[in-house]
Amino acid sequence: MNFEGHLKGAVVAGAGAVALAVVTGYAPLDGDDLNALIAAPLDSHPFWLLGGIFASAGFMALFPDLDTASIPQRWFLRMMFVLLVLAHLAGRDDLFAVLAFAALLPLLHKHRGWTHWKLTPWLVAVFLAVVYEVFRARAAWFGGFSWQNVGGFLAEYWMFVLAAVMGHYTHLLLDRRSVRWLPFVRNPPNHH
């Protein structure tokens, strides 16, 4: 599967994760939310939460192929740079740390290595929760690292973990030759 096919898969995975977040009530929407977004777009709204869920699924849908020097990799790194700058300017050093580690993860191994494992999205979620907890523990006045806090972080952000799993498994599914019949998959079977 080539990048274009995986990009389409990322959009489908992201849309599915957003729909699941709304249906499960993780990100409830009501009629006033759109008006509130239009009136004050930078305030906290369910749309920002849904955007993060969509981005998590999209990131993990493209993640396995970001380990090769390519145009998609350059655009990904540019996007991560912008997100890092925005996280820093917003004073979200916790988010900055998580994004920095996430940006480097695909570059740690050869293509079709660990990035294509079925356990990868789960391992990445736990790793990023550990990064967050280490950062939190270093910034806290009292207390140190706690595995209980890591579990609590994963429990609180379960929809992001599920979105990442959905995105990653979408990538692995699209890499299989047996799904070439899907309407949005029009790539030759030997491309990746």
- Against a cut of 0.85, is the pTM above it? no
C-alpha 162/C-alpha 134 separation (Å) is 22
Residues of the chain with pLDDT under 70: 1, 41-45, 110-111, 177-192
Question: What is the predicted pLDDT for the residue at 30?
Answer: 77
DSSP codes of every residue in 69-136: -SHHHHHHHHHHHHHHHHHHHTT-HHHHHHHHHHHHGGGGS-TTSGGG-TTHHHHHHHHHHHHHHHHH
First-to-last C-alpha distance (Å) of the chain? 4
Question: What is the predicted pLDDT for the residue at 180?
Answer: 56
Question: What is the predicted pLDDT for the residue at 84?
Answer: 92
Question: What is the predicted pLDDT for the residue at 32?
Answer: 79
